[in-house]
Amino acid sequence: MHTTSSPQVQALFDQIAPMYDQLNAWLSLGQHRVWKQMTVRWANPKRGGVNVDLCCGSGDLTLLMARTLRGQAQTLGIDFSHQQLAIAQQRSSLLPWADAIQWIESDVLTLPLADSSVDAVTMGYGLRNVANIPQALQEIYRILKPQSRAAILDFNRSESPELRRFQQWYLQQIVVPVASWFQLKEEYAYLETSIARFPTGAEQVELAIAAGFESVCYYPIALGMMGVLVMTKPH
């Protein structure tokens, strides 16, 4: 039996959709674009292949991947938020090289893609929000072709007490007040709760190995407040 993502989380992302990109830019001091570029490079998308960005939101990673490939591959942006996808589609309609992007409304736990049909997978800030992380990793494993890679960017729940205190301060004193300016205090207050229950980098590596991946690495970035999980499907 499949476990679908929470309707409450879906409603939250529909709610924040209009301000999502602007808030991300403010809250990361513009650095989120660098982290996303790193994620795309680690995923190693293929020209002539099918490359997928899961939990694509308003399309940042999807557009980065499509721009890298310059229309020489099929790029799929998949998300369960109808409002986020509407913004992503509008953004891509203004870019001549984004014609090869297909936007799909779907839960990451029940992807409408065939087994071993995808050449690369990216995900930005999505794994933390799925209802069942092991099942999401198994679904990524299912759709990837052998020897293909997935790269997952998200907040890092560090094992360092000092870093955890700093991250908590940053969320409470910077993120929530800035979100309050946009009338989104409650929506962004959810971040602290979601990070607190998110597996650490080491735990994510264990979950990826349990799902069948090999050459699994976790790279802390942004002073350890963020991280990228990179994993390869074996032969």
Decide if 54 contacts 78 (C-beta within 8 A): yes
Quickly state the pLDDT bin for 33 (edges 50, 70, 90).
Answer: confident
- Give CA separation, 148 vs 58, 213, 229, in Å: 25, 10, 14
HEC string for 101-114: EEEEECCCCCCCCC
Give me the helices (H) in the chain, please. Answer: 7-16, 20-27, 32-43, 60-69, 82-92, 133-143, 161-170, 176-181, 185-196, 201-210
pLDDT tens for residues 171-228?
Answer: 788 777 777 766 666 666 677 788 889 999 999 999 999 999 999 999 998 888 889 9
Distance from C-alpha of 45 to C-alpha of 41, rounded to nearest angstrom: 8
pLDDT for position 66: 93
pLDDT for position 151: 98
Distance from C-alpha of 48 to C-alpha of 36, rounded to nearest angstrom: 22
Nearest Cα residue to 91 out of 127, 132, 58: 58
Q: What amino acid is encoded at 233 in this protein?
A: K
Distance from C-alpha of 95 to C-alpha of 75, rounded to nearest angstrom: 14
> Would you list the DSSP string of 40-76?
HHHH---TTSEEEEET-TTSHHHHHHHHHHTTSSEEE
Q: Output the pTM of the full model.
A: 0.85
Torsions phi, psi of 184, nearest 5? -130, 30
Domains in the chain and their CATH numbers? Answer: 7-158+199-232 (3.40.50.150)
pLDDT tens for residues 119-143?
Answer: 999 999 899 989 999 999 999 999 9
Residues 6+ apart with CB under 8 A from 205: 216, 217, 218, 229
Burial of 131 (0-12, 13-18, 19+ CB in 10 A): middle
